[in-house]
Chain A
Amino acid sequence: MEQSLRVKVNGQAVKREVPPRLTLADFLRDRLRLTGTHLGCEHGVCGACTVLLDGDAVRACLLLAVQADGREVTTVEGMGEPGRLTPLQRAFLEHGAFQCGFCTPGFLATGEALLRSGRRLSRAELPDLLAGNLCRCTGYGPIVDAILEAAGSR
């Protein structure tokens, strides 16, 4: 039986009927056509589908859409727009922190959560904090540089 779901996505209230087995990732991509959230492994290992749920970085593939009922979701589409990028997005651009771009939305969500956490980010510990996101192009260096720069500019 379909469940009714009310969720705020990128600031907009959304109401839909969804089957309980639909993941949040599939809900965002297939129902809302917000295809910026990418799906890699679909079991929580690669981090490509990371989004913000009430401000916390979570795996959209490990969450049922119905579990987001009453909550607020931010995807990469809600972080900035062309011409008005977030400081983190601008730093990614300046450092060339992507090659194929598949992992980028997940890294931006993880990076945004780390910046908002208020914790001091050091070059030594940042790679461990980013271990939950995989970049198959192995472009980790510029990603670390970009997040550190965005952290420094706050």
Chain B
Amino acid sequence: MKSAPFEYARPTTLTEALDLLDRHGEDCKPLAGGQSLVPLLAMRLARPSLLVDLDRVPELRGFSAERVGAMATNAQLERRAGDLPPVIAAALPHIGHFQIRNRGTVGGSLAHLDPAGEWPALALLLEAELTVESKRLGRRTLSAGQFMRGPMTTALGADELLLSVSWPRWPAGARWAFAEVARRPGDFALAGAACTVIAGRTRAVVFAVGPLPQLAGDGGFEVTGDLHASAAYRREVGKRLLDRVMTQAAM
């Protein structure tokens, strides 16, 4: 349970961080809050030769009601939950335990892309845009659907950094609901769902049930089973949670 050795860099500007990623590419890994990456290092599931700690890069900090810098922590957002779309405010207390939210970042969660994570589901639900940058490709903007490629897999190149995530302004009168099931409050979701009704249009996602968060449609959704819950359990609970959030949001 101890990491293999690695080198460590702590850039203080975005340019410096992107230079490091450009030079080291596949051998290096950006470090955000470390709440997922540090255990992966300890279990030796990740073995980068260089960690680039983004903690002191000011360009990645800060957030507003419609845009969140990648290094904003979930705890920082929670303290200003009233400024955010209410469906995000409802999801925040489910993102790990509060001790994890003190360190865990929005960008870290999205770039890690655990299918049980709340942020990937919120990004899909809110039709978010993710701004990424590298020296090689410059700055580009991806939709949530383009960004998410598979479990723990994003469209980010090895030399690319996620800078921020943004979503359309939350309109007055929009309705929403969020629900998830976990063993303990704060544990990984075994199934979850969220819904918005904006200008009469209903959009719902189900997450933590399959390889990625999925938009609810007529065709059902893909499920996978593992140690924590069977595929049959996730199909059943996912369906119930979807029904619940869609009913709540419609009321």
Contact = CB atoms under 8 A, between A and B. Distances in A.
Interface of A: 1, 3, 19-21, 23, 26, 42-44, 47, 50, 53, 56-59, 61-64, 66-67, 69, 110, 113, 128-129, 131-132
A64 B40 CA distance: 13
Given A43-B42, A132-B99, A64 B4 contact: no
B6 A21 contact: yes
Nearest to A66: B8
Contacts of B3: 21
Contacts of B201: none
Interface in B74-103: 75, 96-100, 102-103
Q: Main SS of chain B's interface residues?
A: loop
Q: Main SS of chain A's interface residues?
A: mixed
A116 B38 CA distance: 27
Interface string B3-32: 111111010000000000000000000010
Nearest to B186: A131
Contact of B35 (A19, A44, A57, A110): A44
B83 to A, nearest CB: 19
A47 B39 contact: no
Given A20-B8, A21-B6, A44-B39, A63 B53 contact: no
B185 A20 contact: no
Given A21-B3, A128-B185, A3 B38 contact: no
A132 B103 CA distance: 14
Given A64-B34, A67-B34, A58 B7 contact: no
Contacts of A128: 185-186
Nearest to A114: B98
